Structure 1
Amino acid sequence: MTEHSRPTQAVVLAGGQGSRLRPYTDDRPKPMVEIPGTGTPIIGHQLAWLAAEGVTDAVVSCGHLAEVLQEWIDAADLPLNVTTVVESEPLGRGGGLKYAAASLPRPDESWFATNGDIWTRFSLREMADFHHERAADATLALARPRIPWGVVETDEFGHVLDFIESPPSPYLVNAGVYVFSAAFAKLLPDRGDHERTTFPRLARERRLAGFPLPQGAYWRAIDTAKDLTEAAKELAAARG
């Protein structure tokens, strides 16, 4: 796959209310919350990452406190072209994705999408190649997050063998980063959740692929104040 056939456009879903991140989200949408110590909101890190991976145009789908996000985008010195769309009424995740995709500058080309509360770093170019090699209509990144509790290992007789603090989950989860074919937007519902409609249908037809994040790739969903604290610690450790 040549570099020129990889996606150069993306949708960022940034309309969530972030109720579990209050009070941080009382006056700003969730993607505008800053990672402590960086001076940059989550969406700023995302847009910089997308640009570094070859994306030249992004559509940001706004909702809750949209004007705060739009003002920041207008004032920021961003490394790619960004336009915003606002849902006049809630359309659901699938409907919102379809609505935003209608504003992509090149509707006949493939595109990336990401949830606005994900902070991650891995090669989107490799993910795009993976998507192309499998001739998929949609590819989702798969993460293996750490379980937030310590776990206990036992033998078949019930003897405790070991205590393991925050081990990786045995299950892969949807990492909230996607590659979509140009035709995918037409498969999305006008309203509703594509993960309950479009994705299951594509999975049955073997047109949905899953790209496991490479070993050592950073990934964190920012859902709670604890996630912000952990992200700041991990960033400080990486810089150190």
Structure 2
Amino acid sequence: MSNAASDAVTHPSQAVVLAGGQGSRLRPYTDDRPKPMVEIPGTGEPIIGHQLRWLASEGVTDAVISCGHLAEVLQSWLASNELPLRVKTVVEQEPLGRGGGLKYAAAALPRPDEPWFATNGDIWTRFSLREMAEFHDERDALATLALARPRIPWGAVETDEFGHVLDFIEAPPSPYLINAGVYVFAAEFTALLPDRGDHERHTFPRLARSRRLAGFPLSQGAYWRAIDTAKDLTEAARELGG
């Protein structure tokens, strides 16, 4: 395979951003805007703006944004800002579920025969998508999900075998890796998605059984946070120096 062909396979240049959620746990911030339009204090831009800059810096030239709740607010922002890549929006007329939403948006990708990235619209992160794509290719996976190790929101107590308290640990890292909401998908994966429903309950377990699903652990220094609640906004602002 030529270097050019190999680069095209290893580094997808198109992406889907799922931005249709209502963000009910982020109210009142989401009363007048969709979740990806919420701004982390001190950053000067909404979550979607950060995501598009990140995707472009990783070689993505085309993004399809799947809208739903208050779609017109997001579409207006996209139309009035200078974007670092080409963007198309699609709007779900009825809820299709996460898997159905992905499939619906993927139908609008400009190059359906090439691999693609996908990300949830409430993720604020920065890591090498190129490295993730290479990891995906090396394992001949149909789908690869990024894995994060979040901090537990409560303090932990360490004890010995006799029940004596040894230490108090503030917000320790989780012992488990979780789905970070960022993906690499092979072109063939799109056809495996449900027209309606959740791919994580059906498509992913099937791929896992056939060893075609890979998990890419984020490096220890990579920043990752899902913005689900007002507390997440506060924590992110502190962590990002806002």
In which range does the TM-score fall when normalised by the shorter chain? over 0.9
Aligned to 1:152: 157
Looking at structure 1, the residues matched to 7 and 187 of structure 2 have their Cα atoms a distance apart, in angstroms, of: 17
Could you report, residue by residue, the CA deviation over 1:143-184 in whole angstroms, capped at 9, with x for unpaired residues? 000000110001111111111000000000000000000000
- Residue from 1, 4, 8 that aligns with 2:8: 4
Could you report, residue by residue, the CA deviation over 1:70-124 in whole angstroms, capped at 9, with x for unpaired residues? 0111111000000000001110000000000000000000000000000000000
Aligned to 1:82: 87
- Residue from 11, 16, 19 that aligns with 2:21: 16
- Residue from 51, 72, 78 that aligns with 1:73: 78
Looking at structure 1, the residues matched to 7 and 232 of structure 2 have their Cα atoms a distance apart, in angstroms, of: 34
Aligned to 1:49: 54
Aligned to 1:202: 207
Shift of 1:3: 3.2
Q: How does 1:209-228 map to 2 (within 5 A)?
A: 209-228=214-233
Secondary structure (helix, strand or coil) at the match of 2:118 reads: strand
Aligned to 2:103: 98
Shift of 1:37: 1.1
Q: Does 1:129 align with 2:156?
A: no
Shift of 1:4: 3.0
**What percentage of residue pairs aligned between the two structures are identical?**
84
Shift of 1:215: 1.6
Instruction: State TM-score, norm by structure 2.
Output: 0.96
Secondary structure (helix, strand or coil) at the match of 1:4 reads: helix
- Residue from 166, 178, 186 that aligns with 2:183: 178
Looking at structure 2, the residues matched to 187 and 231 of structure 1 have their Cα atoms a distance apart, in angstroms, of: 35
Shift of 1:64: 0.3
Shift of 1:234: 1.0
CA RMSD of superposed structures (Å):
0.9
Secondary structure (helix, strand or coil) at the match of 2:172 reads: coil
Looking at structure 1, the residues matched to 201 and 194 of structure 2 have their Cα atoms a distance apart, in angstroms, of: 10
Question: Which structure 2 segments of 5+ residues have no match?
Answer: none
Looking at structure 2, the residues matched to 33 and 230 of structure 1 have their Cα atoms a distance apart, in angstroms, of: 14
Looking at structure 2, the residues matched to 180 and 93 of structure 1 have their Cα atoms a distance apart, in angstroms, of: 15
Shift of 1:235: 1.1
Instruction: State TM-score, norm by structure 1.
Output: 0.97
Runs of 4+ in 1 over 6 A off after TM superposition: none
Question: Which structure 1 segments of 5+ residues have no match?
Answer: none
Shift of 1:8: 0.2
Question: Residue type of the partner of 2:215?
Answer: G
Looking at structure 1, the residues matched to 81 and 231 of structure 2 have their Cα atoms a distance apart, in angstroms, of: 27
